[in-house]
Amino acid sequence: MSMIERISGLLQEVEAFSASSKEQLEEYRIKWLSKKGEISVLFDDFKTVPGELKKEVGQKLNHLKTKAQDKINELKERFESRNEDTKGTLDLSLPGMPTLQNGTRHPLTLVKNEIIDIFARIGFTISDGNEIEDDWHNFSALNTPENHPARDMQDTFYVSLNPEMVLRTQTSSVQVHIMQSKKPPIRTISPGRVYRNEAISARAHCQFHQVEGLYIDEKVSFADLKQTLLYFAKEMFGTDTKIRLRPSYFPFTEPSAEMDISCTICKGSGCNVCKYTGWVEILGCGMVDPQVLINCGIDEKKYKGFAFGMGIERITMLKYQVKDLRLYFENDIRFLKQFTSA
C-alpha cells in the first residue's frame, strides 16, 4: 500500500471516529498520535518517500495529523463539559425525590384518637358498632319505643327498603350490643359516625361523630361518673379546666345530666363561643336506667352503670376553633393541611 493510500485510509478512520467514553478516546489518541502511534510511524516512513512526491505526501500527512489532533481535542472537550454539567446536579448519594406529598390526619381523627388515648389510660377499651342499625338497638332498647316523644329529639333517616332499619342517630346503640354480648364489668368507649335528618348549615349537619362511654359494674356511682369526666376534661383541655353538671333528660339514663366545661377560649371571662356565660356544653351523661339494663339482659339488681356521649365535632371546635361544621366534610386540602399529626 502506498503512503498516500495509508494516509487517506487513516484520514477516513479519523473523520468517522466518535468516542463513546473518555477511555476509548485515550485509546485512539495513543493509537494515532503517541510516539509509536500510526501517524508517527507515517512520519518516520516519510523519509523514504521519493523527492518528487515529498511535497504532496508531506501536505497530506500534516493535514491528517491536524485532523486527528482536532478530533481528539474536540471529543475531549465534549466529555469534560458533560462532566461539568452534571457535577453540580447529580449526587447519587442523595435520597430519592418524593413524588407524593405527605398527607395529614383529619382534625376529627386527631381528636378522636386523643379521646381514645385519654380513656385507654384509665382502662376503657374500644368497641365498634354498625352505622346501619335496627330500630330496637337505636331506640327501643334505649327506652325510646315507637311514638315516644323523645324520638323527636333526633330526626331519623330510615333505610327505605326496610323501615325497621335506620342510619344510627347516636352511638348509644353500641351500648346495647355490648351489654347484650358481654358480662360486666364493662368499661368501653365507642367512637363512630352518626346521621340525622337535618338541613346542612354552619351549626348543623346530617352526619357527625360521637364517642359513647359505658361503665357497668357492681358498685358504680354518680361520683365515679363525675370523677371520670373531670379527669377527661382536664386531660383534653388542660389541668385548669373546670366542669359543671346540669340536670337534663335522656330516655336511657336516670338521673341524666349535661356537662359543661369552663370556656377554653376566654377562660371564663365571656366570649361569643360560650355566649358570655363562661361555660360550654360538651356532653350528655347519666346513670344507666335500670330498665335499659333489663332490656339488654343485665341483672339490674346486681349491676349499675354510667354512660356518656359527646360530639367529636364540638370538641374539635373547642380545640381548633373551627366553627363551621361543613368544613369538616368538604375535604378542602387548604383546610386539612393546617392540621399536622404528632
Closer residue to ligand DAH, CB minimum distance, 192 or 284? 284
CA 51 to CA 182: how far, in whole Å?
A: 118
**Locus of grid cell 502511534:** 37
Q: Work out the end-to-end distance of the chain between its first and last CA atoms, rounded to an integer number of angstroms.
A: 83
Closer residue to ligand DAH, CB minimum distance, 64 or 229? 229
Task: Give residues in contact with ligand DAH (CB under 6 A).
Answer: 170, 172, 212, 250, 253, 284-286, 307-309
CA 263 to CA 241: how far, in whole Å?
A: 8
Within 10 Å of residue 96's Cβ, how many Cβ atoms?
A: 5
Closer residue to ligand DAH, CB minimum distance, 32 or 184? 184
CA 252 to CA 111: how far, in whole Å?
A: 26
Closer residue to ligand DAH, CB minimum distance, 237 or 308? 308
For residue 183, give the nearest of 308, 302, 290, 291 by alpha carbon. 302
Closer residue to ligand DAH, CB minimum distance, 13 or 224? 224
Locate 334 and state its grid cell: 387548604
Closer residue to ligand DAH, CB minimum distance, 60 or 304? 304
72-80 contacts at long range (C-beta below 8 A, 24 or more positions apart) = 72/25, 72/28, 72/29, 72/32, 72/33, 75/18, 75/19, 75/25, 76/22, 76/25, 79/19, 79/21, 79/22, 79/25
Residues 6 or more apart from 166 whose CB is under 8 A from it? 132, 133, 134, 135, 138, 139, 156, 157, 158, 159
User: Could you tell me the smallest distance in angstroms from the CB atom of residue 103 to ligand DAH?
Assistant: 30
Give residue number: closest CB to ligand DAH: 309
User: Could you tell me the smallest distance in angstroms from the CB atom of residue 252 to ligand DAH?
Assistant: 6
User: Could you tell me the smallest distance in angstroms from the CB atom of residue 128 to ligand DAH?
Assistant: 16
User: Could you tell me the smallest distance in angstroms from the CB atom of residue 99 to ligand DAH?
Assistant: 44
User: Could you tell me the smallest distance in angstroms from the CB atom of residue 269 to ligand DAH?
Assistant: 29
Closer residue to ligand DAH, CB minimum distance, 253 or 262? 253
CA 106 to CA 303: how far, in whole Å?
A: 39
User: Could you tell me the smallest distance in angstroms from the CB atom of residue 92 to ligand DAH?
Assistant: 59
Q: What is the DSSP letter of 185?
A: P
User: Could you tell me the smallest distance in angstroms from the CB atom of residue 258 to ligand DAH?
Assistant: 8
Within 10 Å of residue 118's Cβ, how many Cβ atoms?
A: 17
Closer residue to ligand DAH, CB minimum distance, 61 or 245? 245
For residue 190, give the nearest of 243, 254, 128 by alpha carbon. 128
| CA 174 and chain centroid, separation | 27
User: Could you tell me the smallest distance in angstroms from the CB atom of residue 164 to ligand DAH?
Assistant: 20
